[in-house]
């Protein structure tokens, strides 16, 4: 991945300090596994743990978290719950992304051999506008019984996302980008997003560009997903399409997603689930969060440590087939983690 963070990342005595936001549900247990695996891999990272009270009616914890990420430059994060029904209390997940201007979310959906899934050999990259669109959180009841919700699309953000996508495709040798939209109905908002991506596409003649309407896209993803290479889309379509594609290859527990802005980066599980119903049962799949940890190590420049953990994950999932129940297996979360640690300890590529 192209590194786009321009502010130096915190590095004390050769170790990176990073913010860790466990969030609710399965977040805290998954973070325990990340710490454990990082310890055995010798990853030079120290965590600053920040808990955000889901019941809070104020934004004190939230502001502290944002300050921490601004200081460290990098965070690993679970999904944060926001219990308040008041429209004054923002979704903390959205607020963090907006405040840090993490304008793009990138999700590389690649099949794991050995995992029973609806589709095989998937390799799709979803690049999503991450701060505006339907997530603008500008809603009001204009008269009783009538609610208006604003979808914001700006040329500058559409352009940043398109440019990021084409640069990413170029750097990573991808051949085709598809813009997903509903410009036939939302002519101005989605129209602007689509036209902007077409404009940027002209600067990259070596990469094929086409577009597809979101509803057709969902059908095509289920029936003929191999036609897709890199996809770009606005925020809400991105959320839905990410979940569809993750579902095709093994569900919510397997993949990680990256959030980038010009200054900061946040790494988290791809589908951003809380997993409240499975919390504390030792059955959550630890792979999505561990992969987020690998993405973070790569971003920090610790390529060897990232490779070490990634290989151990691959061996555990694809060769040993130690799978949690979400993948059809019977292993506990801790069985998966233990096997990953065993592979790390046996590896001859330990840094
Ligand atoms: P909830 O609304 O109960 O918090 P989510 O919406 O967070 O559930 O998650 C959607 C589905 O994905 C749930 O069935 C949840 O159990 C499952 N899920 C999410 N993360 C994981 C994981 N790491 N391992 C296994 N299943 C997961
Ligand atoms: Mg949910």
pLDDT grade for 351, boundaries at 50, 70 and 90 = low
Contacts of 185 (CB under 8 A, 6+ apart): none
Ligand 1 atom 16: the closest Cα is on which residue?
275
Q: What share of the chain is helix, strand, coil (3-state, %, to 5)?
A: 40, 20, 40
> Would you say residue 269 has pLDDT above 70?
yes
Pocket test for ligand 1, best of 22, 247, 250, 273 (most atoms within 8 A of CB): 273
> Would you say residue 256 has pLDDT above 50?
yes
Pocket test for ligand 1, best of 278, 322, 331 (most atoms within 8 A of CB): 278
> Would you say residue 2 has pLDDT above 70?
no
Give me the mean pLDDT over the 149-166 stretch: 97
> Would you say residue 89 has pLDDT above 90?
no
Let me know: does 228 contact 171? Beta carbons within 8 Å.
Answer: no
What's the pTM value of the predicted model, to 2 decimals?
0.94
Q: Is 229 exposed, middle or buried (0-12, 13-18, 19+ CB in 10 A)?
A: middle
> Would you say residue 214 has pLDDT above 60?
yes
Phi, psi of 318 (to 5 degrees): -90, -30
pLDDT grade for 279, boundaries at 50, 70 and 90 = very high
pLDDT of residue 1: 43
> Would you say residue 107 has pLDDT above 70?
yes
Which listed ligand is nearest to 25 at the C-alpha?
1
Mind listing the pLDDT tens digit for each residue in 216-230? 999 999 999 999 999
Rounded to two decimals, the ipTM of the complex is 0.94
Alpha carbon of 225 to ligand 1 centroid (Å): 23
pLDDT of residue 7: 58
> Would you say residue 179 has pLDDT above 50?
yes
């Amino acid at each position: 991945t192209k590194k786009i963070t321009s502010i130096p990342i915190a590095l004390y005595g050769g170790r990176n300090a990073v913010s860790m936001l466990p969030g609710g549900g399965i977040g805290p247990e998954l973070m325990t596994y990340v710490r454990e695996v990082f310890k055995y891999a010798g990853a030079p990272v120290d965590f600053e743990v920040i808990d955000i009270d889901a019941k809070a009616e104020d934004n004190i914890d939230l502001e502290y978290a944002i300050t921490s990420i601004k200081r460290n430059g990098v965070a690993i994060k679970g999904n944060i719950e926001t219990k308040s029904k008041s429209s004054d209390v923002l979704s903390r997940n959205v607020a963090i992304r907006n405040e840090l201007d993490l304008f793009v979310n990138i999700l590389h959906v690649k099949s794991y051999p050995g995992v029973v899934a609806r589709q095989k050999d998937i390799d799709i990259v979803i690049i999503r506008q991450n701060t505006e669109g339907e997530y603008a959180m500008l809603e009001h009841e204009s008269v009783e019984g009538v609610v208006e919700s604003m979808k914001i699309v700006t040329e500058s953000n559409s352009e940043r996302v398109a440019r990021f996508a084409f640069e990413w495709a170029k750097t990573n040798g991808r051949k085709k980008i598809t813009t997903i939209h509903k410009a036939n109905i939302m002519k101005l908002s989605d129209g602007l997003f689509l036209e902007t991506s077409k404009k940027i596409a002209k600067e990259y003649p070596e990469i094929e560009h086409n577009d597809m309407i979101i509803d057709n896209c969902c059908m095509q993803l289920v029936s003929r997903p191999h036609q897709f290479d890199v996809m770009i889309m606005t925020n809400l379509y991105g959320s839905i399409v990410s979940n569809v594609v993750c579902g095709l290859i093994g569900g919510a527990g397997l993949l990680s997603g990256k959030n980038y802005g010009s200054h900061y980066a946040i790494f988290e599980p791809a589908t951003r689930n809380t997993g409240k119903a499975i919390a504390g049962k030792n059955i959550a799949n630890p792979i999505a969060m561990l992969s987020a940890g690998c993405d973070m190590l790569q971003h920090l420049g610790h390529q060897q440590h990232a490779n070490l953990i990634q290989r151990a994950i691959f061996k555990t999932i694809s060769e040993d087939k130690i799978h949690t129940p979400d993948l059809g297996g019977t292993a506990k979360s801790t069985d998966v983690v233990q096997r990953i640690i065993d592979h790390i300890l046996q590896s001859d590529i330990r840094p």
